[in-house]
């Protein structure tokens, strides 16, 4: 549904996004996870046709963003980080206006407006000025705006930032209820958010994709797991057996072939001496060890960044009493410094 290939975006000398590629299948909910300034907003803006990429191509529902922007825009519902609302308009008028510029036939507009008002539970405020709404309602009207033309793809930039814990739970519930009908790409810098809503997570940091997996796998990989690349010159089966002999090793996978040798990926429990033991094992078996690289570390760094970000924000919130669904939703993040355009 969404295909991004080798997209790079530079602002002058600054590279916001660097050669990223990923795909999102129909009906998936994918979370874009990364610290502030990682390039999440930039990527989303490229997908929605707001920004052209410097290099690379992106396509949505089979249409190239650069070549047929109108077709792409018809199929995308986009909620930017700060909902694009006109404070001086009434909610219903605003939605009518959005429906019209999304090219919904005139006759259908009232029906669509009613439908999204109901869907996002904003019917009660339909006659109020947008400027008078609470933050939670604004976010929902923002969602209503993104949904009004029944887009196949929803792109939501930090949909829960700046909301209080109760509103966060409501908005997450709303997003989950949209799954199935829509393909959803949402961004966040809060780890539990993706765990609760997304089927897959793409971790992005400093404009690069660092990992892409299900939340469960990622959490396993991040917490107490260690991943190594070993470039070994030796008979495959024997090497595999020897590596698996180590107690800490969970899985041994053929990663790639390099110059006639095999690069193995070893997933193991956290163990300080693992690298040393594996190196010893390879060398004493008489094979050549051409390279060793720890993969776990960089992910860990990001994870640390993400979690420290969150705990700092959670502390700042002065122990907000956890609401009903607390098990699945740890303390809410106010989004430390969620100003406009923080991703540039």
Partner 1 sequence: MRNIWTIAMREFKVYFTSPIAYIVLAMFAVVFGYFFTSGLAFFMDYSASVQAQGGAGAPPLNVNQFVIEPSLGNMSIVLLFLMPMITMRLFAEEQRSGTIELLLTSPLQDYHIICGKWLGALLLYGCLLLVAVLNISVLFLYTTPDWKPLLVSLLGLLLMGGSMIAIGTFLSTLTRNQIVAGALTFGVLLLLWVLNWISSYETSTFSRVCEYLAISPHFEQFSKGVIELKDLLYYLSAISLGLFLSKRSLEALRWKA
The sheet that has 208-213: what strands, in order across it?
Answer: 76-79, 153-157, 183-188, 29-33, 200-205, 208-213
Residue 42 CB, nearest approach to partner 1 (Å): 10
**What is the DSSP annotation of 238-307?**
HHHHHHHHSTTEEEEEEEEEETTEEEEEEEEE--TTHHHHHHHHHHHTT-EEEEEEESHHHHHHHHHHHH
Q: x/- binding map, residues 281-320, to partner 1, per CB under 8 A? A: ----------------------------------------
Residue 96 CB, nearest approach to partner 1 (Å): 9
Q: In which residue are the tokens 């009613």 written?
A: 114
> Is the CB of 106 or the CB of 319 nearer to partner 1?
106
> Is the CB of 147 or the CB of 295 nearer to partner 1?
147
Q: How many CB atoms lie within 10 A of CB 272?
A: 8
> Is the CB of 68 or the CB of 219 nearer to partner 1?
68
> Is the CB of 78 or the CB of 303 nearer to partner 1?
78
45 lines the binding site for partner 1 (CB under 8 A): yes
Instruction: Tell which one of 48, 160, 197, 205 touches partner 1 (CB under 8 A).
Output: 48
* Dist CA 173 CA 181 (whole Å): 15
Size of the site for partner 1 (CB under 8 A): 30
- Are β-strands 29-33 and 183-188 bridged in parallel, bridged antiparallel, or unpaired? parallel
* Dist CA 64 CA 101 (whole Å): 21
Per CB under 8 A, contacts with partner 1 among 79-138 are 80, 82, 84-89, 97-98, 100-103, 106
- Are β-strands 2-11 and 200-205 bridged in parallel, bridged antiparallel, or unpaired? unpaired
> Is the CB of 74 or the CB of 240 nearer to partner 1?
74
76 lines the binding site for partner 1 (CB under 8 A): yes
- Are β-strands 153-157 and 76-79 bridged in parallel, bridged antiparallel, or unpaired? parallel
49 lines the binding site for partner 1 (CB under 8 A): yes
Contact set with partner 1 (CB under 8 A): 11, 45, 48-52, 70-71, 73-74, 76, 78, 80, 82, 84-89, 97-98, 100-103, 106, 145, 340
């Amino acid at each position: 549904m969404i295909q991004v290939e080798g997209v790079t975006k530079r602002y002058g000398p600054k590279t916001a996004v660097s050669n990223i590629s990923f795909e999102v299948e129909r009906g998936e909910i994918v979370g874009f996870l990364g610290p502030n300034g990682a390039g999440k907003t930039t990527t989303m803006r490229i997908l929605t046709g707001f920004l052209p990429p410097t290099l690379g191509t992106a396509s949505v529902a089979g249409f190239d963003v650069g070549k047929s922007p109108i077709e792409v825009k018809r199929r995308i519902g986009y909620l930017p980080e700060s909902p694009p609302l006109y404070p001086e308009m009434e909610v219903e008028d605003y939605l009518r206006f959005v429906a019209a510029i999304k090219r919904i036939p005139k006759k259908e507009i009232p029906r669509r407006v009613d439908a999204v008002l109901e869907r996002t539970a904003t019917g009660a405020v339909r006659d109020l000025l947008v400027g008078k709404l609470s933050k939670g309602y604004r976010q929902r009207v923002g969602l209503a705006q993104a949904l009004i033309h029944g887009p196949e793809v929803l792109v939501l930039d930090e949909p829960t930032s700046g909301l209080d814990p109760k509103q966060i739970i409501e908005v997450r519930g709303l997003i989950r209820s949209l799954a199935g009908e829509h393909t959803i790409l949402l961004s966040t810098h809060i780890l539990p958010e993706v765990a609760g809503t997304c089927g897959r997570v793409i971790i992005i940091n400093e404009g690069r994709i660092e990992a892409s997996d299900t939340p469960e796998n990622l959490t396993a990989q991040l917490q107490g797991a260690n991943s190594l690349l070993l470039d070994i010159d030796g008979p495959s089966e024997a090497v595999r057996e020897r590596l698996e002999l180590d107690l800490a090793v969970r899985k041994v996978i053929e990663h790639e072939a390099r110059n006639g040798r095999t690069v193995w990926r070893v997933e193991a429990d956290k163990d300080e001496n693992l690298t040393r033991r594996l190196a010893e094992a390879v060398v004493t078996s008489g094979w050549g060890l051409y390279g060793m690289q720890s993969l776990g570390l960089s992910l860990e760094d990001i994870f640390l960044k993400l979690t420290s970000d969150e705990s700092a924000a959670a502390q700042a919130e002065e122990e907000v009493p956890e609401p009903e669904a607390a098990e699945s939703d740890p303390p809410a993040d106010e989004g430390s410094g969620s100003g406009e355009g923080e991703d540039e």
